[in-house]
């Protein structure tokens, strides 16, 4: 079976820092793949390379069997790959519904994108999309008045408005209060599964990874050091030492 996304031999160094040092990864259609690893391991760099924000110095990336390296981020979106960022990219002075309508409109031509709020079809689609994310009650609220969990969901709803087949998410739960984290992820996973969207997400919370990932890829110094189902990977002593141990220590330091 052809992988939905196939990355081969990706290399990218910033000076002496090897952010990608020979990354090979197949993402299977329909799966939810978690990327874990210590700070600076190259996780965001991978997302940036797949989405056209960074160009590797060597390697290949194919989406549905078609090479995408060197294409612009906008072109890559049009082929069916969307992303969300660690910090949500919302227009803060606009309402949640206006943000979603803008995202729906951005699928169209330049002209439809600059007058999206006049178009009832965009608003209707945006409204339906927000409903799927449980955000209908917040549709009229300004984006800067949302709590972090709702802001993250709204940001991901905007990415989904682009109708991707693959969605890459950089730390979808970072900054979300522990008490609401699982509910946010449950909503997110339900919507993605219903839409049949393949997902790759960078995640530091191992409870989220254990519960929602089909497979886990471990990043270490620009390379994938382990890849497999969560039950295997999260029990791997090297992963516990190099990745999970670091998180536990950081938590302890923060609490001290
Ligand atoms: N545009 C850039 N210019 C210079 N160095 C960069 C750039 N982007 C990333 N790096 C460096 O490359 C390395 C990998 O960074 P990256 O952001 O991919 O790590 P990460 O695994 O996502 O880390 P974190 O978990 O902290 O987000 C880091 O040392 C980082 O400082």
pLDDT at 54: 97
Q: Whose CA is nearest to atom 30 of ligand 1?
A: 40
Task: Report how far ligand 1's centroid is from the alpha carbon of 146 (Å).
Answer: 28
**Residue 251: CB within 6 Å of ligand 1?**
no
126-129 long-range Cβ contacts below 8 angstroms, 24+ apart:
126/97, 126/100, 126/101, 126/161, 127/97, 127/100, 129/100, 129/104, 129/157, 129/160, 129/161
The mean pLDDT of the chain is: 88
ipTM: 0.96
CB atoms within 10 A of CB 60: 14
Q: List the alpha helices (DSSP H) in 120-197.
A: 120-132, 148-160, 178-195
- Of 219, 247, 252, 248, nearest to 233 (Cα)? 219
Domain 5-89+164-255 sits in CATH 3.40.50.300: yes
CB-ligand 1 contact for 14 (6 Å cutoff): yes
Nearest-CA residue for ligand 1 atom 6 is 14
Strand locations in the chain (E): 5-14, 17-27, 32-36, 58-63, 66-67, 81-84, 166-170, 198-202, 215-220, 223-228
Percentage of the chain modeled with pLDDT above 70: 89
Q: Is the alpha carbon torsion for 230, 235, 240, 241 positive or negative?
A: negative
Cα 205 vs. chain centroid, distance in angstroms?
14
Q: Which residue has the higher pLDDT, 166 or 211?
A: 166
Residue given tokens 């998180």 in the structure block: 247
Please state the φ and ψ torsions of residue 7, each to the nearest 5 degrees.
-110, 135
pTM attached to this predicted model: 0.89
Q: Say yes or no: CB of residue 19 within 6 Å of ligand 1.
A: yes
- How far is the centre of ligand 1, averaged over its atoms, from the C-alpha of 24 (Å)? 18
Q: Are strands 17-27 and 5-14 parallel, antiparallel or unpaired?
A: antiparallel
Q: Is 105 in the pocket of ligand 1 (CB under 6 A)?
A: no
> What pLDDT, on a 0 to 100 scale, did the predictor assign at position 255?
46
Between residues 256 and 120, which one has the greater pLDDT?
120
Locate 168 and state its tokens: 């890459």
- Give the residue whose CA is nearest to atom 26 of ligand 1: 39
Residue (of 75, 97, 83, 219) closest to 146 by Cα position: 97
The per-residue pLDDT for range 88-135, each reduced to its tens digit, is 677 778 889 988 888 888 876 655 555 545 578 888 899 999 999 999
- The residue among 252 and 14 whose pLDDT is bigger is 14
Q: Answer whether 39 contacts ligand 1 (Cβ < 6 A).
A: yes
Q: Is 220 in the pocket of ligand 1 (CB under 6 A)?
A: no
Check pocket membership of 243 for ligand 1, CB cut-off 6 A: no
- Give SS3 for 68: coil
């Amino acid at each position: 079976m052809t992988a939905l996304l196939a990355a081969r031999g990706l290399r990218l160094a910033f000076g002496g820092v090897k952010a990608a040092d020979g990354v090979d990864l197949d993402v299977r259609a329909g799966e939810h793949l978690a990327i874990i690893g210590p700070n600076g391991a190259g996780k965001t760099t991978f997302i940036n390379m797949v989405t056209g924000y960074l160009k590797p110095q060597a390697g290949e990336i194919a989406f549905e069997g078609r090479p995408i390296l060197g294409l612009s981020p906008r072109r890559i979106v049009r082929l069916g790959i969307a992303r969300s960022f660690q910090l949500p990219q919302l227009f803060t002075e606009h309402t949640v519904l206006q943000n979603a309508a803008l995202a729906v409109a951005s699928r169209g031509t330049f002209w439809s994108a600059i007058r999206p709020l006049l178009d009832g079809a965009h608003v209707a689609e945006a409204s339906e999309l927000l409903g799927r994310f449980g955000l209908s009650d917040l549709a009229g609220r300004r984006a800067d008045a949302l709590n972090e969990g709702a802001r993250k969901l709204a940001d991901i709803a905007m990415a989904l408005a682009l109708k991707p087949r693959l969605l890459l998410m950089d730390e979808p739960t970072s900054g979300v209060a522990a008490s609401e984290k699982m509910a946010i992820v449950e909503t997110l996973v339900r919507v993605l599964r219903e839409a049949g969207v393949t997902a790759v997400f960078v995640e530091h919370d191992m409870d989220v990874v254990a519960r929602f990932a089909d497979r886990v890829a471990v990043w270490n110094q620009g390379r994938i050091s382990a890849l497999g189902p969560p039950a295997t990977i999260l029990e791997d002593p090297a992963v516990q030492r190099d990745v999970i141990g670091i998180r536990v220590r950081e938590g302890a330091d923060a609490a001290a």
